[in-house]
């Protein structure tokens, strides 16, 4: 979602270095405008002030401006400690003294499209046509496909995970039913945390005697390999997740399934994307007055927003 911001900055002639955690660094390496990616040695959670000071000493004097996309205190600490003269970001978590140029956060309860939210850091007006764009070397993609015995455009990718919580995950039995009806090979992608989800789908597919065309790669690929597999797929079906945005960045035909979140906030910005969201479906009754709740787990216990999306509907959108 930050790629359009980087594209705007690069168009000004700026040389861009991105600091990112290892799990997301490969995404930035797929952005041609990024000259360098620095992988942060920080664990998830915690301030880790000593580690930030150590890295800040190494980075000192190398950069003129820092654009700080995360809205947390710790994300603003490193540019401050490194003495970067201009530090641009949104107000939040007592960051007033850490930023030199501060943008106001949207009013509470309002969630703007995230691409526009990040792009505003450039100081330029919102451009509605902004679309994240990713690019990989064809030789690298082909090498990975060859290792797996896959051909470009001849398989589907299913990404059943959503780290935020189950209220964003289409049920595994729906994914399994969809996979059973897809004629071409199906690749299941996800992190090691999503291995159990993908195993459930694989078992459901096997129960329908269709396991021979299924590749369960959850937890078995690096993110860089997953990007390659998505970029060359015939289609991608996913929840509202990071891999959904990756598919959008490659312009792959995709179906994005939304539950507790909203495509008005984090849509797949891809002209080849189809979104399924029962909240805005006038034919779905009774109406989902509870959506979007943005909760990790359905507070009402029924998760109708996802359970009632039938695999046949998704299959129709793929045809």
Cβ density class 18-50: b for 16+ within 10 Å, e for less: bbbeeeebbbbbbbebbeebeebebeeeeebee
Q: With a cut of 60, say whether residue 211 has pLDDT above it.
A: no
Q: Specify the CATH number of the domain 3-122.
A: 3.40.50.2000
* pLDDT tens per residue, range 243-300: 999 999 999 999 999 999 999 999 999 999 999 999 999 999 999 999 999 999 999 9
Question: What are the boundaries of each domain within the chain?
Answer: 3-122, 138-318
3-class SS of residue 52:
helix
CA distance readout (Å), 182 to 59, 156, 235: 50, 8, 11
* pLDDT tens per residue, range 10-29: 999 999 999 999 989 999 99
Distance from C-alpha of 43 to C-alpha of 223, rounded to nearest angstrom: 18
- One of 3.40.50.2000, 3.30.465.10, 3.30.70.100, 3.40.50.620 is the CATH number of 138-318, namely 3.40.50.2000
Mean pLDDT of 23-45: 92
163 or 169, higher pLDDT? 169
Provide the CB-side half-sphere exposure for 185 (13 A, CA).
Answer: 21
Q: Which of 31-45, 120-134, 176-190, 288-302 has the lowest mean pLDDT?
A: 120-134
Q: What is the pTM of this model?
A: 0.88
Mean pLDDT of 59-72: 95
What confidence tier does 168 reach under pLDDT thresholds 50, 70, 90?
very high
From start to end of 182-241, where are the E strands? Answer: 186-188, 214-216, 235-239
Would the CATH topology of 3-122 be identical to that of 138-318? yes
The tokens 């597999």 sit on which residue?
229
Q: With a cut of 70, say whether residue 41 has pLDDT above it.
A: yes
- Ramachandran angles phi, psi of 199, nearest 5°: -65, -40
The share of the chain scoring above pLDDT 70, in percent, equals 96
* pLDDT tens per residue, range 92-151: 777 889 999 999 988 877 777 889 899 999 998 666 567 899 999 999 999 999 999 999
Percentages helix, strand, coil for the chain (3-state, rounded to 5) are: 40, 15, 50
């Amino acid at each position: 979602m930050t790629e359009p911001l980087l594209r705007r900055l690069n168009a000004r002639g700026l040389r861009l270095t991105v600091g990112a955690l290892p799990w997301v660094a490969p995404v930035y390496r797929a952005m041609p405008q990024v000259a360098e990616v620095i992988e942060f040695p920080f664990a998830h959670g915690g301030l880790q002030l000593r580690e930030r000071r150590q890295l800040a000493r190494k980075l000192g004097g190398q950069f003129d401006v820092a654009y700080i996309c995360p809205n947390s205190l710790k994300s603003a600490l490193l540019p401050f400690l490194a003495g970067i003269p201009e530090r641009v970001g949104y107000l939040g978590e007592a960051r007033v003294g850490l930023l030199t140029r501060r943008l106001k956060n949207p009013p509470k309860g309002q969630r703007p499209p995230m691409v526009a939210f990040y792009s505003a850091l450039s100081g330029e007006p919102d451009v509605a046509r902004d679309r994240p764009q990713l690019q990989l070397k064809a030789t690298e993609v082909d090498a990975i496909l060859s290792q797996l015995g896959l051909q470009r455009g001849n398989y589907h990718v299913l990404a059943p995970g959503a780290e935020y919580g189950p209220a964003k995950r289409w049920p595994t039995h729906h994914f399994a039913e969809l996979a059973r009806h897809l004629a071409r090979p199906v690749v299941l992608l996800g992190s090691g945390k999503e291995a159990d989800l993908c195993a459930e789908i694989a078992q459901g597919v096997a129960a329908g005697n269709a396991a021979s065309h299924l590749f369960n790669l959850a937890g078995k690929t690096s993110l860089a390999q997953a990007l390659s597999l998505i970029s060359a797929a015939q289609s991608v079906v996913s929840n509202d997740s990071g891999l959904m945005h990756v598919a959008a960045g490659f312009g792959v035909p995709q179906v994005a399934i939304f539950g507790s979140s909203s495509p008005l906030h984090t849509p797949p910005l891809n002209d080849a994307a189809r979104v399924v969201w029962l909240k805005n479906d006038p034919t779905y009754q009774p109406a989902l007055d509870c959506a979007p709740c943005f909760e990790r787990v359905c507070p009402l216990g029924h998760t109708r927003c996802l359970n009632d999306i039938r695999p046949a509907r998704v299959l129709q959108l793929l045809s």
